[in-house]
Each structure stands twice: as structure tokens, then as C-alpha cells.
A and B are shown apart, each in its own frame.
Chain A
Amino acid sequence: MPAVSKGDGMRGLAVFISDIRNCKSKEAEIKRINKELANIRSKFKGDKALDGYSKKKYVCKLLFIFLLGHDIDFGHMEAVNLLSSNKYTEKQIGYLFISVLVNSNSELIRLINNAIKNDLSSRNPTFMCLALHCIANVGSREMAEAFASEIPRILVAGDTMDSVKQSAALCLLRLYKTSPDLVLMGEWTSRVVHLLNDQHMGVVTAAISLITCLSQKNPDEFKTCVSLAVSRLSRIVSSASTDLQDYTYYFVPAPWLSCKLLRLLQCYPPPEDGAVKGRLVECLETILNKAQEPPKSKKVQHSNAKNAILFEAISLIIHYDSEPNLLVRACNQLGQFLQHRETNLRYLALESMCTLASSEFSHEAVKTHIETVINALKTERDVSVRQRAADLLYAMCDRSNAKQIVAEMLSYLETADYSIREEMVLKVAILAEKYAVDYSWYVDTILNLIRIAGDYVSEEVWYRVIQIVINRDDVQGYAAKTVFEALQAPACHENMVKVGGYILGEFGNLIAGDPRSSPLVQFNLLHSKFHLCSVPTRALLLSAYIKFINLFPETKATIQEVLRCDSQIRNSDVELQQRAVEYLKLSSIASTDVLATVLEEMPPFPERESSILAKLKKKKGPGAVSVTELEDSKREGGELNGGGDRGQDTATMAASNASTPSPSADLLGIRSTAPLGAAPASAGSLLVDVFSEAGPTAPSAAVNDDGFLRDLEQPTETSDSLLVEGSGDLEFVCKNNGVLFENQLLQIGIKSEYRQNLGRMYLFYGNKTSVQFASFTTTVSCPGELQSQLNVQTKPVEPLVEGGAQIQQVLNIECLTDFSDAPLLNIKFRYGGALQNLTLKLPVTINKFFQPTEMTSHDFFQRWKQLSQPQQEAQKIFKANNSMDTEVLKAKLLGLGTALLDNVDPNPENYVCAGVIQTKSQQVGCLLRLEPNAQAQVQHTDSPERVSHNYSSIPNFLHYLSPYSVNI
């Protein structure tokens, strides 16, 4: 029990908590809780009305029980009752209960929202804050629906108290994160940006989180924040430590705000305005300078706050990647931290340097720290720090230091923590391949990997070494010799047997001249491992044996003997039995010629991206995906081509990264159970398309010798951040439903309907693969001025799309005024390890808002004549490619949304249409005439519009119409 108490508080609650703490067992605790629950239930149900204090006490007890981890299924109503109490503490407990035990009962939600509404309009700042905290804590869609429009108003109102503004800003942020479609931008947005100038530092601190989040989504609308942020930052950085009073933290002025300002600036490119940029560079320099000054306090809080700003500044410098001087200074600063006595700083320096390593300006500077980083890998006591060191070594690796880094990583692997071994193996394999100048080094490295950490060598890794050996004839003899030697070890890893079996089966002849590795010696060596291996490896060895019969006729009898024995030919495993039977038959009936054809050396593999890279990315998991990786390969791309056409190369690399066919695709296109095809009777099957796994890749036979990491597959539609012109760009002008986009992974269907100036569009995203899409997000944006012309709202979609599944998204569209651009739909998801990013134009065109209008011939021509000013008329003459079919033309014109008027034009060959374009701000009448000239295959279109101001849209839709008509 408490020794001292102020007042008598909720003594009952304190007693209850003490009781629980004194319980000796879980059972006793549950018993005590059940007793209490029964007591509370009877109080709530009892005849006697409870006073506010008792209600508060019991609700608080329920909360405590819930937080202990027990279920609570009552008390919500009592908590809601507390919300309308005018005693602050009762209200406060009520709100706390509601925030922690969110309930989806709609009646309750209505009551809660009512109470919140009352408090928001109470003008009592403490009550308003409580209500805002509750909305921010719950953040449900229902609350967003009820309050998303009210909160911006509170936030920017002139008479709102500072503390309320702070709560309102973060409350709005939470709602924007959960229901972005309900938080509508409006005139409040510009006023929010100006909160960066607010006198009250607390208001700025709260507002900047909101502004940062909004800027990420709507960078154009918020770009004025850049100069405001720079001037605010500059004032803080140059202020003396006492200027900001209570916002100074351990002699560091406003560290939280400074970090947030620097983070906000990372949403934008470097400022274009020279003065602003100069001021910012000055700030960054000051921050770097301060790092060299002696500390103002010995407290760790002082150095943490100061360094937090420093690291954030370095992130910004790296983000800009344009100031060589600052980049190098940042690198030197991090270099100092690499040897700091604080583990935290060493960790962060390693992490931050990883991103610096990918900048061309600082890559060399980072490399100078190689010894320190290697030392960290060897001596750090915390595995998470060692992991960072390994990451950095990987990032700083290039041709000049690859041998050293790979050697260090290999030797570290011998003692590395189990948790990071697999990743280390992948990294070593990638580096060895990427920077191999002589391939004997590569082969040695991979065999060492198998020797040291065989269990962690995944199939991708050993497939890859085989692929490379097969493609490079200069290394085949060396590879054969090396695996032969490696297999001499009495206990060698099964992966070594796999590689050995495959390579000797292909290239054993290259070392057969040496009597120490004569064919029979090779065979006996392999076969001595046979019985220790798993079924897939044995299957592979059997294939190697039949290849031996072809390579070395003198081994035929011995091998046939082996195949013929019961343990092979009657093996209980179907795959092994079948191979033994078929290989035996093949070897006895086929002529030497047939045998030689069937068992010919494997043809070279088409060059493509290493699937090891894909595997590494996948391993890093969704979310943590590696900018470094991409950056890395960009740099690599440049290097491989001797810095040739860098831009193009970068694009290729990005594309190849994004289009990894399937992270699980076998390198050799074989599942381990069926290495050389299961039906050797047919000559074709041994040469089976080993790439069948990779799908319709139609590999080109070209071999790119220096770029063997490069993907020579066809460029795919899913390349990174490529703007894909939706196939529907024109197709959808005259129709509302269909397939908007389709590639190998994804199909997007579209259905839309329009009424007046409103439209609703259904998008159907279909996963065509059998693999789940993760982190699936879609964003609809209206670029540039379209933002003020068209209002598009969506609800977020589920982040996971299962293989074969389809999800739906609804877009509500409102046409505010006429427009000419199309909204963009950006889709991002992870397929396997690779991030897929694609942007499509949504087929929303001005003609969708046409309302057909019927009129008589007289009316039509009277109006036609009135529309005589040049800006009211647009005419286009274009050639039709195909014959002009009346019905098709009519369908197109109707599809356009206008009314097709019969018996209006004196010339029956002509088509005459009328319609009114409905926008929120105005209605635009529009008349159209299409005059086909059958002989010349030419059509005229005239389209005067009735309302004179603002005519930009009409020629535009004609533009849509015309190319299409050409196709008729």
C-alpha cells in the first residue's frame, strides 16, 4: 500500500491494484479479477444510481483489468456517460476508457461522437483538447467521417488557443493517415503551412508533423513550406542556447523541431531560389561545425540531442546528393563516430555511411574507412552493430577492394552469428560475382562459402556458380580441378557434392588427362558421397553418371553396374528408380552418336539478373528495401560499361531490378528433383528448355561478357517508375468499361458511370500470379492545375493481394471545372522481393461529363451561327485510315456522350451532335458536326461551344476524338 497519499483519491482502485499485486499465482489473480468484475457488474446493474465518482472508479478498475490482458465486455455505456460529466477527471477517465477499449457498436459510436461534438464546441480549451486526444487515439473511420471537416477549421481559426491548435494538428494528422480520402484539402492548407511561422514553438512542433505528412502526398501544394522551414531552421541553428527557454533541451535549442524541419526538407529537392539554398547550406555547415565544438554538457542527453540534429542534417545532405563538399564533410564526421565510445553512435554512423557509400561524391571517402569497418565486424560485441558493419562493407565494395572485403566477410562467416549467416552468404556470393575479374577467384570464393557455411548456401547460390562456369569456358578446367580437390575432404557439405557432381559431369574430361583424376577416380570419388546424400542430390549424381558414360566410354561398364544394382533400379523413390532404369536403358541401346547428342554439354545460359540479388532483397523483407541495393546496382551499371551512357544504363538496371522474373525461379530452371529431364529416351528432353521456369522469357542467345548481372530479358512493363501510357488513353474516350492495363503480373479492369458532373469509377486489381502481392498501395493524383479542376476521392485498398485474387477500389470523381489532363493512378506493390511501381493515366476525360441534348434543326443552326467567334470554334480535318462504317461512327459519337441528332443537317451524310458538359462551376453547351468525305477519306469536325469564356476543353476532346476517328 502507498506510504504517503495526497487526498484520498480512488482508494478503492489502489486497494484493488494492491490485491492483484499480492496474488501469488495466476489463478489467484484471475479469481480476484472475477470477483471484482462481478462486483462492478452488480453495481452497474443495481437499482441505486451511481454517482460520478463511483462510476469513474469502476470504469478505471475495468481499464486496469483490461490492461492486465483480460477481456472486458461491458462498462462502455458507463464510460460514455462519464464523457458528459462536467467534472474534468471523470470526463478524462471516460475518454481514456473509450480510447483504449475501442468499440464498434454503432449506437455507442453515435453517443461518443455526440459527446465529442459537444466538447469541441464547448470553447473550453481543456475539454476541447480531451476530445481531440480521443479522436487522435481512436482514429477510426467513423470519427474521421464525423470530424474530418471540423478539425481543419479549429486548427486555423484565429481565436483557437495554442494548446488546442497543437492537439488539432496532430489529430488531423492521425485522421489523414487512417482515412486520407476524408481529409479534403482546401483553403485551410495554405494557412497550415504558415503555422511554421507561429510564435509558439509548441504549435510549430505539432504542426510540422502534419505538414511533413501532407507534403509527402501533395508536394506541389505545400512547396511554399520549403522557404519557411529554412528560415525557421536558420533562426534556431543560429540562436544561443538560452534564447528558446524551455524549448532548449540540455543546451541544445529545439532539437525535436530542428530534426523535423530537416526531415520536412527531405520531402523536396534542393531549393531553387539561390538565397534560400545559400541560407540552408549555411545552416548545414553550422550544424557540422557544432559537432566539432566541445560539448556544453557531459550529459548523454546533450550529445544525443545534438547528434540527432547532426544525423538528420547528414540525411538531408545525402538526400540532396549535390554538394560534394558537404558530402565529404559528412563522411569525415561519420568516420569519427565509427570509433566513438558510444555504441549507439557507432551503430548510427555505420548505418548512415551505408547510404553515403552510394553517392558518387562520397563513395571514395567512405572507402577510406575500410579498416575501421572491418575491425568493427571483428570486434563489436553487439550483433546488431556487426550487422551494420557487414552492410556497410557490402555497400562500399567495388572492384578495387572486392578481394579484401570478400576475404574479410568469408573469415567473419566462420564465427558469425547464426542469425545473419544466410544474408552474409548471399552478400559474399553477389560481391564475388559482381567484381570477379578472374573467374577462378569467383569459383574459389563460392566453394569456400560452401565449405564454411554450407548449410546457409541456398540453391540460388550454387545454381549461379554452375551457370557461370557453364557460360565461361576459360574457367571450366579450373572449376573441375577445384571441385575435384574439394571433394577429397572426408566430410564435405552436400551442396559441394551437388556442385561437384554437376561440374564433373559436364567438364570432368578437362582434368581426366591427369592420372590422379582419371575418369574412374572421378567417378569413385563422386560415388563415395552418394549414400550420404539426400534424394535430390542422388538424382543429380545419377545424371552426372550418365554424362560420364558419354564423356568416358571406359567407365560405362562400372556405371552400368552401379545403375543395375537393386538399390538403384528398385529404389523406393520413384524419381531415382526411373532415372536408374532410363539411364541404364539409354546407355545400353543408344548408339554413340545418339548418346553424344543427347548428353551434349549444356548450352550457355542466357544472361540475366542474378536471382541471388532478388533473394537478398526478399530476405530484407517488405518495407526495408534497399535503396542502397538499387543505388548500388546503378553505380555498378555505370562501371560495367566504363561509364558510357550512364543514364540509359541506370534505367536498364532499374528495370532489371524491378522485373526479377520470380525470386524463386531456379537459376538452372530445374527443380532439384529433375535435373536433366526425366525422360531421357527422347533426345530433346535432355536439352529441355532449362528456362521453362522463368516463363515466356524467350531468352536471347546473346552473351554479354562483362555484364553478367544484367538482365537481357525483354524490357518489362513493370520497370521502376516508368510512366505507362494506359492502353485506354484513347480507347476509353468513348467507352466506360474494359481492361485498362495488363501485364504478366497484374490486370486492371475498369467500370465507370457518370451522372451530371459526378462520376464513380470501379477499379479491379487482379493478381495474375500465384504469389501474394505485398504492400499493395494505390494513389490517385491530379497533377498540376488538374487538382483544382477535378476532385477524385478514394478509399485505400487492402495491402495484401493474394495470388489469383482480385480487389476492388472505388473512385468518386467530381468535375469542378473543365480540364484537359488525366488524373494519374500510381500502383506500388511487392512481388517477391521486387518493388513494382507503375503509373497509369486514368481515362477520365471531359466528355464523360456530357449530358446529351436534343434539339431541332432550326435551333441547332441558330445556335451554331451564334457561336462564331474564333475561340468558340474548333475545326479539324483528318484522314480516316479505314473505311467509314456508319454504325461504328454512330456508336463512337454516342459513346462520346453527346446526343446524335437525326434530320438536323440537310446533308444526310453528316453527323450532328449536341450536348452540355456539366461541371460544378458551369455548364458548357457544345455542338458538333462530323462531315465525312468518303472519296477523300477525310472528315471535318466542327465544334463551336456556346459559352464563350473558357474554351480550352473542347479542342481537347476533339483531340481525343480525332485520332480515334482516324482509326475507324
Chain B
Amino acid sequence: MQFMLLFSRQGKLRLQKWYVPLSDKERKKISRDLVQTILARKPKMCSFLEWRDLKIVYKRYASLYFCCAVEDQDNELITLEIIHRYVELLDKYFGSVCELDIIFNFEKAYFILDEFLLGGEAQETSKKNVLKAIEQADLLQEVRIFLYHQIHLL
């Protein structure tokens, strides 16, 4: 995987994770263009598209779009389920996750992602094991997350 972006229906980036070295300027340009391309697509359309030299896999959950750019030989469907598993992890951790959870606890969203994917590859696909790693870390310190009432992603 080359990168993962989370953005809102209004096109605001909520999370960005880059697994290939790119300059800040390139990153901004890619995210701006790609977000526009995806927001312009209609609901029932295919989740995959060829965009420049990249293979894009995306899916919308409530108000949030999850979008991954993968290599040519990568499997589209399994990438779609990578996205879903990540949403499940967020959902389980925050308890019915919504966009605001991710905005206010962005650092947690990054930590969970790091336990799940590392260097763009799946590190641990078991939901239990990922959450165990995160919760263990939380146990080492005071648990501090805020919970929000909003439309849930799942």
C-alpha cells in the first residue's frame, strides 16, 4: 500500500498515512486531487479506479471516506476488507465510532492504524490482538479518550 487517506464529505482530510517517501508538496497535491476525484463519483459506482499510475480502493462509511492507494499487483477486494477491518477496530475501540471521535482523538486513530498496518502491510489481522495491544498501552497509563454522539460509521 502506498498511502491511506480518510476524508469527510466536505473534502476535509481526517487522517493521512504515507508509506512511500513523498515531499510535503506532493502529498498535498495528491490528496487534493484524489479527494476531488472521489467526491465527484456517484454512490453506486465501483470501489476501484485507476488514477494516474495508482490503483485506488475506496469506501464510504457514513460521513467519512476511506481511501487506499495500492500497488499494481495488490488485491483490490482484500484492500477493501483492510479498510473495513480498520473501521471495525475504530468502532470497537471507541464504541460505535463516529467522525468526531477520529477528529478529537486523531492520535488514537494513528496508533490503532500502526498496530494494524505497518509499512503499508498487514501486521496483525486479528481484531482481538490489535485491541489487546492498544488496551495494554492504555492500561499502562490513565485511559483518556472522549466519546461523542454523532452518526456512527458502522
- Report which A residues bind B (CB closer than 8 A): 2-10, 14, 17, 21, 60, 63-64, 67, 69, 87-89, 92-93, 96, 126, 129, 132-133, 136-137, 139, 163, 166-167, 170-171, 173-174, 177-178, 201-202, 205-206, 209, 246-247, 249, 254-257, 259-260, 263, 266, 301, 304-305, 307-308, 311-312, 343-344, 346-348, 381-382, 384-385, 387, 621-624
Contact = CB atoms under 8 A, between A and B. Distances in A.
Contacts of A254: 125
Main secondary structure of the interface of B (DSSP, over half): mixed
A301 B84 contact: yes
11 contacts: A4-B149, A6-B144, A8-B144, A139-B21, A166-B123, A170-B119, A247-B125, A344-B46, A348-B48, A384-B45, A384-B48
Contact of B46 (A206, A246, A343): A343
Interface in B33-89: 42, 44-50, 52-53, 72-73, 75-78, 80-82, 84-85
B3 interface: no
A6 B122 contact: no
A88 B140 contact: yes
Given A170-B123, A209-B121, A343-B45, 8 more contacts: A64-B106, A166-B123, A201-B125, A255-B78, A263-B75, A308-B78, A312-B78, A381-B45
B147 A205 contact: no
Given A89-B141, A96-B111, A304 B81 contact: yes
B103 A21 contact: yes
B55 to A, nearest CB: 9
B111 A171 contact: no
B77 A308 contact: yes
A163 B136 CA distance: 12
Nearest to B28: A69
Given A2-B104, A67-B13, A137 B114 contact: yes
B52 A305 contact: no
- Count class of interface residues, chain B: 35 or more
Contacts of B142: 7
Interface in B94-132: 100, 103-104, 106-107, 110-111, 114, 118-129
B137 interface: yes
B143 A6 contact: yes
Given A67-B106, A246-B129, A259 B123 contact: no
Contact of A6 (B80, B120, B123, B146): B146
Nearest to A93: B107
A129 B137 CA distance: 11
Contacts of A133: 114, 118
A761 B66 CA distance: 47
B133 interface: yes
A274 B72 CA distance: 31
Contacts of B103: 17, 21
B77 A305 contact: yes
A98 to B, nearest CB: 12
A14 B104 contact: yes
A5 B147 contact: yes
A92 B137 contact: yes
Contacts of A385: 46
A308 B78 CA distance: 5
A287 to B, nearest CB: 13
A174 B119 contact: yes
A171 B19 CA distance: 12
Contact of A344 (B77, B114, B136): B77
Contact of A343 (B44, B78, B127, B147): B44
- Residue of A201, A256, A621 ringed by the most chain B CB atoms within 10 A: A256
Contacts of A343: 44-47
A9 B85 CA distance: 27
Contacts of A256: 78, 81-82, 122, 125
Contact of A249 (B107, B120, B125): B125
B12 to A, nearest CB: 9
A8 B141 CA distance: 13
A311 B77 contact: yes
A260 B75 CA distance: 9
Contacts of B124: 163, 166, 202, 205-206
A93 B122 CA distance: 22
B75 A87 contact: no
B107 A263 contact: no
Contacts of A387: 50
A249 B46 contact: no
B119 A305 contact: no
A632 B116 CA distance: 40
B126 A307 contact: no
B78 A139 contact: no
Interface of B: 13, 16, 19, 21, 28, 42, 44-50, 52-53, 72-73, 75-78, 80-82, 84-85, 100, 103-104, 106-107, 110-111, 114, 118-129, 133, 136-137, 140-149
Contacts of A132: 118
Contacts of B44: 343, 381
Nearest to A17: B104
A266 B85 CA distance: 26
B53 A623 contact: yes
B133 A163 contact: yes
B119 A136 contact: yes
B141 to A, nearest CB: 4
Contact of A206 (B28, B45, B123, B137): B123
Contacts of A89: 137, 140-141, 144
Contact of A7 (B19, B104, B119, B144): B144
Nearest to B121: A209
Nearest to B84: A301
Nearest to B24: A71
A247 B45 CA distance: 30
A173 B121 contact: yes
Contacts of A260: 122
Contacts of B119: 136-137, 139, 170-171, 173-174, 177, 209
A10 B144 contact: yes
A750 to B, nearest CB: 30
Nearest to B126: A246
- Residue of B76, B81, B142 ringed by the most chain A CB atoms within 10 A: B81
Contacts of A173: 119, 121
A163 B114 CA distance: 12
Contacts of B149: 3-4
A7 B143 contact: yes
A246 B143 contact: no
Contacts of B147: 2-6
A246 B128 contact: yes
A883 B26 CA distance: 64
- Residue of B73, B104, B128 ringed by the most chain A CB atoms within 10 A: B104
Nearest to A63: B107
- Residue of A178, A259, A312, A381 ringed by the most chain B CB atoms within 10 A: A259
Given A7-B142, A14-B146, A163-B133, A304 B77 contact: yes
A311 B76 CA distance: 9
A384 B126 contact: no
A945 B64 CA distance: 74
Contact of A205 (B19, B46, B122): B122
Contact of B126 (A4, A167, A202): A202
Given A96-B111, A205-B122, A624 B104 contact: no
A387 B118 CA distance: 33
A171 B121 CA distance: 10
A688 B125 CA distance: 68
A384 B49 contact: yes
Contacts of B21: 139, 178
A908 B147 CA distance: 96
B146 to A, nearest CB: 4
B75 to A, nearest CB: 5
A3 B146 CA distance: 8
Contact of B118 (A6, A60, A167, A266): A167
A89 B106 CA distance: 14
Nearest to B32: A69
A260 B79 CA distance: 12
Nearest to B14: A67
